[in-house]
A and B are shown apart, each in its own frame.
Chain A
Amino acid sequence: MNQKLSFLLRLWRQKDGNSQGKFQEIRMKDIPPDMSFLEMLDEANNDLIRKGEEPVAFESDCREGICGTCSLVVNGLPHGSDPGTTVCQLFMRRFNDGATITVEPWRAKAFPVIKDLVTDRSAFDQIISAGGFVSVNTGGAPDANATAIRKCDADTAMDAAACIGCGACVAACPNASAMLFVSAKVSHLGHLPQGQPERERRVVRMVQKMDELGFGNCSNRYECEAACPKEISVEHIARMNRDYGFASLLGTERERGNSGAG
């Protein structure tokens, strides 16, 4: 198991959003099996730097599967083939010696490429900004135990809230839909009493924003759930659809008199 591994990397290179991209091939050898995928890319980059070439741009930060920064399509799958795993938590022991590994950026209209393997995912922030919150200012909150919350509701809210906002769901979806991301937030807040006053308003605004930003429609292919490193369930999408239907029925009546985003 401790024998060193070799790979042929095919890395996507693209100067910027307006340029054409292409693959660069790099041979890697003497890779220890407990090296992480991103550490292997670090090594590839160090080799490029030693040769005076520009390293391939890719993003990461926590390298422990929680910040949602890393975002690579490995051999056609967002975050690679390990279920429930971000690419920063993928280890080289999961690949066969001698394998060819193709690495590409997220590909979706709403996530334009900035350079090489880096994309712009700020559309997600805009969706949250449209309604993914509870409108409460610092200061006036009642005692934390003033409202009891059923454990099962708190647990479901937490299941949904575990989303790390990486965008793998969008990258995996043939329509580049953001339904899983949006529904996770709708469901997180919708399961808690604190989220009830804005429940209809939230879902309507978030869905409108999502459509506006160029994400596609959901055609129930469920690739999103399969790619999600936090294994967020598509049940949240069904729940969001119910909320959305209900909110549309009620129309703007519930939204009376307030036009700001908050």
Chain B
Amino acid sequence: MILDSKIPPGSIENKWTDYKFQMKLVNPANKRKHKIIVVGTGLAGASAAASLAELGYNVHSFTFHDSPRRAHSIAAQGGINAAKNYPNDGDSVHRLFYDTVKGGDFRAREANVHRLAEISTQIIDHCVAQGVPFAREYGGLLDNRSFGGAQVSRTFYARGQTGQQLLLGAYQSLMRQVGLGAVKLHTRREMLDVVVVDGQTRGIIVRNLVTGELERHEADAVVLATGGYGRVFYLSTNAVGCNVTATWRAHKRGALFANPCFTQIHPTCIPVTGDHQSKLTLMSESLRNDGRVWVPKTAGDKRSPEKIPESERFYFLEEKYPSFGNLVPRDVASRNAKQVCDQGLGVGETGLAVYLDFSDAIKRLGKDKIAEKYGNLFQMYDKITDENPYQVPMRIYPAVHYTMGGLWVDYNLMSNLPGLHVLGEANFSDHGANRLGASALMQGLADGYFIIPHTIGHYLASNKIPKVTTDHPAFVDAENSVKARQDKLLAVKGNKPAMEFHRQLGKVMWDYCGMARNEAGLKIALDEIPKIREAFWKEVSVTGSGQDLNMALEEAGRIADFLEFGELLVLDAYTRRESCGGHFREESQVGEGEALRDDNNFCHVAAWEFKGVGQKSELHKEPLAFDNVHLTQRSYK
């Protein structure tokens, strides 16, 4: 299989502009005749559905949530990047492009990243026009802050609730189109298969989560914006409903899965306290603007933090990386936290935590200023830990947070299955092996507001799309296979709740394919995961029926998919025998634990083709070329 990324010719600065002119257009009068299915109503899906409807397409929007506003994007805290250069600190489209390629450790496509940087400024304009209440200065203009991996302030924010405000903006635009009759909204519907007719993606099968009914929906094109798969680790900062089901089922129908092992471990999360936990909570990276990360210099120092004098504190990020300090990229910050804890310097009951200390910032700026910037995060921390971070330093530890991998897409954001487009965290496109903070919101909105409205038109205008109806055998087949899987889950009648298998899977993933990975460990994981999967299908208990709201059934279905997908993630990690970004192979490092890439052998996108559950997937490689950012070993010293 040849992976054609369809990157248009021309200089990096002009590609997108020229390409927009070259793409075919759908006549305004014909747009209404094209039905487009958008699955997911997060930033990527809601922005896409609203924008496509504004253009006149007949849009059908699906979400398993009860309302589009609940999508996981709502939880994003810190901010969204844009190359506005309002602070006059030397930012530009080129610098955002450069930082993102470098931050991703040279494993993303230059052309995609440049387009993202170009579009970033329009996103902010549009969101302000929608009424997104970004933070402002006294002069009335927009305020910015810094995020990891950048030496400029280019992050726009709305207190600690940036994702919420951006999503509400997109949601309101979507609901406006619903009111106008341009979007038909289908809530509480879980997509369980895509339908391919004569090589084109022509629809989906969904389960109505209230009645249990399986529904067939046909369209001229399908857009998946179903988010990331971080919950394969069980514990993560993701919402408990996040899953891989939509993308995994598409993968099983032929869509390639790219770089599944590129997962992001976020350095600043509230540490694990016990095995009862259902999820972990992020403390936004923005806190690293003012918080200082440290551990005691001596192992086993159990004094409370305020009793440890300055001279006996190890500010490990500031000392090791003087130019970026506490604002090194996430992968670097996480690995360093793990290292100091592995050396016995960790704090708290478990020894798996480091301090994030605001006392200097509170002295410098005053408590009120800190409260204004981070109040809701401090409150959240207090609620969860019962400790007041204005008085004692926060304790933090890395946790799974984001997934850079996803379905393979070309420059048009279309997968290798014609007609199947993939947006937001669900695709693999822009972040390489490590995503910089505040760049996911940017990417989701770039994809939905400003890219897909053009590229999907080009697809519809350049292909013949014959009429199909939902009684086509491909629809019948897909529905039958969904039904069979559901019946099989209900028929096991074991005695263990699905969650137990999810926890087991998560533990294997975290222990062997987490912050540090090595060949021996990955082999163990490749051995263990199929065993857990087999046990699941023998012992799981799913009570209730398929004929009404049955959350245990929904959950078991998602876990069953994770149990298949996890194996592919580990296989990818095993096959990529280099370290890059968030993928740290212990065999491949330099100096004090810095990731060492192997550009001779691994400067490619690894796109996997499904060959059957338990069968080895087939690897396809898309080579990456770096013509504009020089391929070098990353350094944040």
Contacts and interface: CB of A to CB of B under 8 A. Distances in A.
B559 to A, nearest CB: 13
A161 B185 CA distance: 23
A177 B164 CA distance: 24
B465 to A, nearest CB: 24
Interface in B176-190: 176-180, 185, 187
A89 B279 CA distance: 12
A32 B187 CA distance: 36
Contacts of B141: 145, 148
B67 interface: yes
A52 B278 contact: no
B126 A39 contact: no
Contacts of B350: none
Contact of A63 (B128, B187, B278, B549): B278
B239 A261 contact: no
B612 to A, nearest CB: 30
Interface in A33-68: 34-36, 38-39, 42-43, 45-46, 48-50, 52-55, 57, 59-68
Nearest to A115: B549
A209 to B, nearest CB: 10
B176 A67 contact: no
Interface in B106-129: 122, 124-129
Tell me the dominant secondary structure on chain A's binding face: loop
A144 B449 contact: no
Given A143-B125, A151-B138, A161-B165, A118 B549 contact: yes
A128 B175 contact: yes
A165 B69 contact: yes
Interface string A129-148: 11011111111011111001
Interface stretch (B293-301, B336-344, B379-387): B379-387
Contacts of A35: 274, 276
A114 B142 CA distance: 43
Given A39-B278, A49-B541, A69 B66 contact: yes
Given A52-B543, A89-B384, A125 B136 contact: no
B358 interface: no
Nearest to A34: B273
Contact of A138 (B51, B179, B499): B51
Contact of A50 (B67, B127, B384, B497): B497
A150 interface: yes
A257 interface: no
A157 interface: yes
Contacts of A54: 543-544, 550, 552
Given A66-B164, A148-B140, A154-B135, A261 B276 contact: no
A7 interface: no
A55 B543 contact: yes
Contacts of A57: 549-551
B519 interface: no
A39 B171 CA distance: 29
A124 B69 CA distance: 10
Nearest to A84: B379
B174 to A, nearest CB: 9
User: How extensive is the interface on chain A, given as a class?
Assistant: 35 or more
A89 B380 contact: yes
A87 B619 CA distance: 45
B176 A36 contact: no
A43 B276 contact: yes
Given A61-B65, A61-B70, A16 B548 contact: yes
Contacts of B124: 144
Contacts of A130: 179
Contact of B133 (A38, A118, A154): A154
A173 interface: no
Interface of A: 15-16, 32, 34-36, 38-39, 42-43, 45-46, 48-50, 52-55, 57, 59-69, 84-85, 89, 91, 93, 114-115, 118, 120-122, 124-125, 128-130, 132-139, 141-145, 148-151, 154, 157-158, 161-162, 164-165, 188-189, 192, 194-195, 260-262
22 contacts: A35-B276, A39-B277, A49-B497, A60-B240, A61-B239, A63-B240, A65-B380, A69-B66, A125-B68, A128-B172, A132-B175, A134-B130, A142-B125, A145-B86, A148-B139, A150-B140, A151-B138, A158-B158, A161-B133, A161-B158, A188-B131, A261-B179
Given A66-B75, A67-B239, 15 more contacts: A32-B274, A34-B386, A42-B499, A46-B500, A55-B543, A57-B551, A60-B240, A66-B161, A67-B69, A134-B131, A138-B449, A139-B126, A148-B140, A162-B161, A162-B164
Interface of B: 47, 50-51, 54, 65-70, 72, 74-75, 84, 86, 122, 124-131, 133-142, 158-159, 161, 164-165, 168, 171-173, 175-180, 185, 187, 210, 239-241, 273-274, 276-279, 281, 379-380, 383-384, 386, 449-450, 453, 493, 495-497, 499-500, 541-544, 548-552
